[in-house]
A and B are shown apart, each in its own frame.
Chain A
């Protein structure tokens, strides 16, 4: 019998040993509880987010939490693929914009988004504008998250939004920009729908948009 409450708590408290032990037990028992275990891990990640908002956890803890979630998916993946699965995930694009290679923040955001049930298409670092526009065309996603650390990222974010407009795609996507240089004024300059300087806020906006 899998103790899902204990698993959720282990994730929230970043107790790797307990988390791995329970997930291995899920797989040893045939994997029938894999989706339930994944859901418990996601609830644990919500607790991580709460601890972050309370300043109990900080960035290094979010990085570690992301690592634990990746590990959880790795352990459960065979059972998740063959099992019943959960509800349909909202697909979205996330990337570092052209000229920017600093992806630690992006990776935290990705982990938190995935933990919140998003199917994140991560285009990586230094992403050309055309690659983003083409991926929006190809997938029809409704959310694009653009990340940047350097000040030059603002120009690339603006170029991306302009290119989405030119391609006639702007009205079908919500664009959020994130990272150290962004603020409300830059959000206006770029022409984005929202801005964020941490993963929690990004997840909140994306959830709002996906549920709308």
Chain B
């Protein structure tokens, strides 16, 4: 374990030594400052109030977090060896799901853009966990070269998103609805459809975190696993 500007996080390298495996697929976390207000400081409701009642103060606070915490941390992280990970960095998008486009452009994108720009300039990558939908902001991510961004998708239509973001590796597509209520055949058909539709630049994953016993039937998971095990392009 080590302390980062974002709190105590597990060190993947140490885990690898201790347990022989990585339990993280990214080397370090970054976060648009407003996410901190959503997740930790104020909550979704109060941040929504602040966006109207204390907009200037909120913006000032976001700028301060960006300059004093995020950017120094980013500069430090750019030097680290993260070659053992799927992605160099990780960010979780939650606040975007509540923001209007205008608010996104003022409170979210300028910060995130700066982080991704820095990563791309250094040939590094970012894994983005996109809660809810990210489609309405897809155009902002179109400028990045292939290999920079991987998005874990929850509610977006993967095929439509692929059309808008041919440059981004998409992760998801297997619905928990199908895993929990479909048949093994239906689940395998879904994998075939996803492979045909999304092809290269796609990672098979469930759409939501499978957290509860009824989120997935054993036989469905086995059928998908077997198909994937034997899958060849």
Contact = CB atoms under 8 A, between A and B. Distances in A.
A14 B52 CA distance: 9
Main secondary structure of the interface of B (DSSP, over half): helix
A58 B177 contact: no
A185 B176 CA distance: 12
Interface string B35-57: 00000000011011101110000
A113 B192 CA distance: 43
B181 A64 contact: no
Contact of B177 (A56, A60, A152, A186): A186
Interface in B135-170: 136, 155
A154 B179 CA distance: 14
A57 B97 CA distance: 12
Nearest to A183: B177
B99 interface: yes
B155 A155 contact: no
The main secondary structure of chain A at its interface with chain B is: helix
Contacts, number: 66
Contact of A60 (B51, B132, B176, B215): B51
Contact of B100 (A61, A151, A181, A185): A61
Contacts of B52: 14, 16, 61, 64
Interface of B: 44-45, 47-49, 51-53, 97-101, 103, 132, 136, 155, 176-177, 180-181, 208, 211-212, 214-215
Interface of A: 14, 16, 55-61, 63-64, 67, 104, 107, 150-152, 154-155, 180-181, 183, 185-186, 189
Given A64-B52, A151-B212, 10 more contacts: A55-B101, A60-B48, A63-B44, A63-B45, A64-B51, A150-B211, A151-B176, A181-B176, A181-B177, A181-B208
